Amino acid sequence: MVDSLLKDLIAEYLQVLAVEKNMARLTISSYRHVLYDWNDFCEKRNVLYVSQLDCCDLRSYIEMLYDKDYAATTIKHHVAVIKSFAKFLRQESYLSKNIADCMPLPRTPQKLPDVLSVAQIERLFEQDFGRGPYGLRNRALCDLMYGYGLRVSEVVSLDMGHIYSSQSFLVVTGKGSKQRSVPFFGAARTSLEQYINSARPELLRNSLEPAVFLNSRGGRLSRQAVHRMVEGMGRQIGIENLHPHTLRHSCATHLLAGGADLRIIQEILGHADIATTQIYTHVSQEHLIEEYLSAHPRAQRKS
């Protein structure tokens, strides 16, 4: 078996992720960052070829991340990426054994997602989103992220051909380019139709542009622009650093509190594993206690 440079195999692996695994571009970028960082570390130790790799190199790299005070979640991500790459090397017979078996995933404390209360959601949508086409666009964006629990990447990638008004559903492209249908009802539908009918034509520069949400130049709106908009809307109601994902978390939590089945919420959010959705049962319980303590007149009294 011909020995290979580690950096060449990293490039081959990233190509496999893109072509064979159909992995999302942002995920591949994240993998590339980790593996190139690891390769730089190995080169400084004069480890250039795959045959030179051993458990000590992997453990030393993780220890270096701890020494640099990387967050536990970041270290866990680095370990997971390297484990995946090592598995690829073993499957393709570049290694006789999986050298990453000696790398346990670091334990990270489970952090419950941030959630807005129903009252905060009402204040968010009662505020002035601005005049003209941008106000209608921004309201529709917030309504979709809260109304259907959509991710930022999912709303900005939404095309006009993904809207099936007569059948009352949208086709959303989620992680790994997987598509799912979400119901198209309620306030979110009203906001989106108002934007499409009244505001989008004003922003449109090219009739062939498929994107639903447009920027001032008539092109597809960026994720960064949505982040800035949501943060600004949150600031207007006294919430600092409001994140678009908080609207998604709030949608799931409020659905659960309203009696929706966990499997239905899983389908709406596009979770591959029900275990991911189950975190909202914990959020809902905490949220229930907070709401009770803040709303009930005798909740804080001792007698």
Tell which residue, 167, 170, 166, 168, has the closest CA to residue 182.
Answer: 170
- Does the annotation mark 263 as catalytic? no
Tell which residue, 239, 253, 262, has the closest CA to residue 290.
Answer: 253
At 20, which CATH number? Answer: 1.10.150.130
At 163, which CATH number? Answer: 1.10.443.10
| Pair 76, 162 in one domain | no
Task: State the Cα angle at 270 between 268 and 274, rounded to 5°.
Answer: 95
Contacts of 114-120 spanning 24+ positions with Cβ under 8 A: 114/243, 114/246, 114/249, 115/246, 115/249, 115/250, 115/253, 115/283, 115/287, 116/239, 116/246, 116/247, 116/250, 117/287, 117/290, 117/291, 118/254, 120/237, 120/239
Domain count, the chain: 2
The whole model's pTM is what? 0.63
- Does the annotation mark 189 as catalytic? no
| Pair 72, 170 in one domain | no
Could you say which of 77, 83, 137, 248 is catalytic? Answer: 248
The pLDDT, as a whole number, for residue 273 is 79
| Pair 127, 211 in one domain | yes
* Within-domain flag for 206: yes
Task: State the Cα angle at 25 between 23 and 28, rounded to 5°.
Answer: 70
- Does the annotation mark 146 as catalytic? no
Could you say which of 83, 151, 200, 287 is catalytic? Answer: 151
Three-state DSSP at 214 gives strand
| Pair 85, 161 in one domain | no
- Does the annotation mark 217 as catalytic? no
* Within-domain flag for 111: no
| Pair 151, 271 in one domain | yes
| Pair 66, 131 in one domain | no
Residue 7, both tokens: 């950096």
List the domain range (segments joined by +) for residue 267: 118-295
- Does the annotation mark 245 as catalytic? yes
Q: Are 179 and 173 in contact (CB under 8 A)?
A: yes
Could you say which of 162, 175, 180, 227 is catalytic? Answer: 175
- Per-residue pLDDT of 158-209, as tens digits, reads 999 999 999 899 999 988 788 999 988 899 999 999 999 999 999 999 999 9
- Does the annotation mark 87 as catalytic? no
| Pair 214, 171 in one domain | yes
**What DSSP designation does 134 have?**
H
Last residue of a domain, one of 102, 129, 160: 102
Residues of the chain with pLDDT under 50: 1, 303
| Pair 206, 289 in one domain | yes
| Pair 76, 142 in one domain | no
Continuous segment of H or E residues that includes residue 233: helix 223-236
| Pair 12, 71 in one domain | yes
